[in-house]
Structure 1
Amino acid sequence: MDKTITWRIILLILSVIIPLGVILAAYVFISNRKNKQSTKKWIDIGCAISFIYTTAKVIFLIIDLRHFVLL
Structure 2
Amino acid sequence: MLCLVSSTFLTEQDGDLRGKLHLKTKKDFIRQNDAFEISEPHIFIDEIEEHIVSKITTFYPQIRKIKRRI
Give yes or no for TM over 0.5. no
Higher relative contact order (CA 8 A, sep 6+): 1
Question: Which band: TM-score by shorter chain?
Answer: 0.3 to 0.5
- The structure where helix makes up a greater share of residues is 1
